[in-house]
Amino acid sequence: MIRERFVETIISLGSSIEKERNVPEAIRLLRRHRRIEVTNVSRFFESAPVGGPPGAPDFFNAAVIARTDLSPSELREELRHIEDVLGRKRTDDKNAPRTIDLDIAYYGDLVAEFEDWRIPDPDAATTAYVAVPIADVAPDWIDPRTKKTAYDLMRLADDGGEPVRPVSAIRLASPYQSRGPEDFDPAGDVYAPQLEALVRAQLLELGENPDRQGLARTPLRVAKALDFLTNGYSTSLDDVVNDAIFDAEGADELVLVKDIEYYSMCEHHMLPFFGRAAVAYIPRGKIIGISKVARIVDLYARRLQVQERLTNQIADALMEVLEPLGVGVVIEGQHLCMMMRGVQKQDSATVTSAMRGTFKKDARTRAEFLDLAGIGRARR
């Protein structure tokens, strides 16, 4: 769960160069950052350039709500790094076209001045192309200087006579969606330029021709596949649980969800391992939606993993969100790094367990769980 030291922040995004790609890609990179937890994203808005050269392209703008334990200066540095990754070239002209612009609009209720920047960003209260996306994603956010809501500031903001127009009604708020909407992924576009370039370099290193017909779109497909298979990095336990915890006074018997299929990737060879998980707990006045148990398994499985750690992370997560009398987790896995290479034992399987509370202390409870789970008895 979110610790006390995390601060809620709003980050403004803008792009006028390859904006259909760069705004979603910037959001994807924010979601991938280990110390930035994106919780919501505005719609995309289009606005005319302000003070740029004649014929300059229009901008896409958006706003992201995130939680972070980075200090304001550290967060700004990480945002600058993402700008560098996306090819931002800084000039003395603040209105010049750019691939991406990432600014801290708000950092909690902090009001501070730094060497050449301020929090809150003054534009958040005065400029429509910044204020509108913020009001879209956080209308009730209170500006610590004016004490007005983001919605009120949006109504007062100067649009320079040019309206700020929503581009798409599609939001990127889903914690299970770590990429831009379909509208921004036409066949001729790219998805994750850095990752795709690395895949292309791998193909060349293997002696392949990445431009031949069968491989022409492989870097794109691999980037998308890896994004999905490792989206546990961009999802939090809070996102998964999503308030699906209910009072259940008198419920004090074992709850078991078994035969949960999972797929993960070993961190040593980046090859898949997969199998079944059984997860049980004994409530202490609270229960969790059954589907959320499977979601928690996926949350930790969709990262580079070792099976032992995966088992413990699932057990610890349930202990954290439910504070039950105990938790038991048993996982069976088949590892392609062992089946396809190395000893090449195709029929091998690994079983790991994690016991917490009553399951660890009481042999009868543990035996009941293992008997009901039935993992390892009969292979499918």
The owner of tokens 């209720």 is: 109
Residue 185: its pLDDT value, please? Answer: 46
The kind and range of the H/E element at 316 are: helix 307-322
3.40.50.300, 3.40.50.720, 1.10.1670.10, 3.30.1130.10: CATH of 233-373: 3.30.1130.10
> 345 pLDDT exceeds 50?
yes
Answer with the residue of higher pLDDT: 252 or 309.
309
pLDDT, tens only, 150-169: 999 999 887 666 788 888 54
List, by residue range, all CATH 3.30.70.560 domains of the chain: 7-169
The whole-chain average pLDDT of the chain stands at 87
Give the global pTM: 0.68
Of 18, 33, 46, 335, the catalytic one is 335
> 53 pLDDT exceeds 80?
no
> 182 pLDDT exceeds 50?
no
Answer with the residue of higher pLDDT: 260 or 19.
260
Confirm whether 307 is a catalytic residue. Answer: yes
Which of 49-58, 129-138, 248-257 shows the lowest per-residue confidence on average (mean pLDDT)?
A: 49-58
> 254 pLDDT exceeds 50?
yes
> 189 pLDDT exceeds 70?
no
> 180 pLDDT exceeds 60?
no
> 177 pLDDT exceeds 50?
no
> 81 pLDDT exceeds 50?
yes
Residue 295: its pLDDT value, please? Answer: 95
Task: Please give the radius of gyration of the chain, using alpha carbons only, rounded to the nearest integer.
Answer: 24
> 57 pLDDT exceeds 90?
no
Closest alpha carbon to 173 in 342, 27, 300: 27
CATH architecture for residues 7-169:
2-Layer Sandwich (3.30)
Answer with the residue of higher pLDDT: 364 or 52.
364
Residue 173: its pLDDT value, please? Answer: 35
Distance CA 63, CA 182 (A): 19
List, by residue range, all CATH 3.30.1130.10 domains of the chain: 233-373
pLDDT, tens only, 94-132: 778 889 999 999 999 999 999 889 999 999 999 999 999
Residue 191: its pLDDT value, please? Answer: 67
Confirm whether 267 is a catalytic residue. Answer: yes
Burial of 56 (0-12, 13-18, 19+ CB in 10 A): middle
- Average confidence (pLDDT) over 68-79: 96
Distance CA 84, CA 107 (A): 22
Output DSSP code: residue 158.
Answer: B
Residue 250: its pLDDT value, please? Answer: 76
Distance CA 144, CA 125 (A): 11
Of 20, 162, 269, 368, the catalytic one is 269
> 366 pLDDT exceeds 90?
yes
Of 162, 208, 337, 368, the catalytic one is 337
Of 18, 37, 196, 266, the catalytic one is 266
Confirm whether 33 is a catalytic residue. Answer: no
pLDDT, tens only, 199-215: 999 999 999 999 999 99
Q: Which residues pair with 304 in a beta bridge?
A: 265
DSSP reduced 3-state for 208? coil
One-letter amino acid at 128 equals A
pLDDT, tens only, 272-305: 999 999 999 999 999 999 999 999 999 999 999 9
- Average confidence (pLDDT) over 238-253: 85
Of 77, 267, 320, 323, the catalytic one is 267
- Evaluate the CA torsion angle 67, 25, 40, 176 in order and state its sign: negative
The owner of tokens 């390859």 is: 18
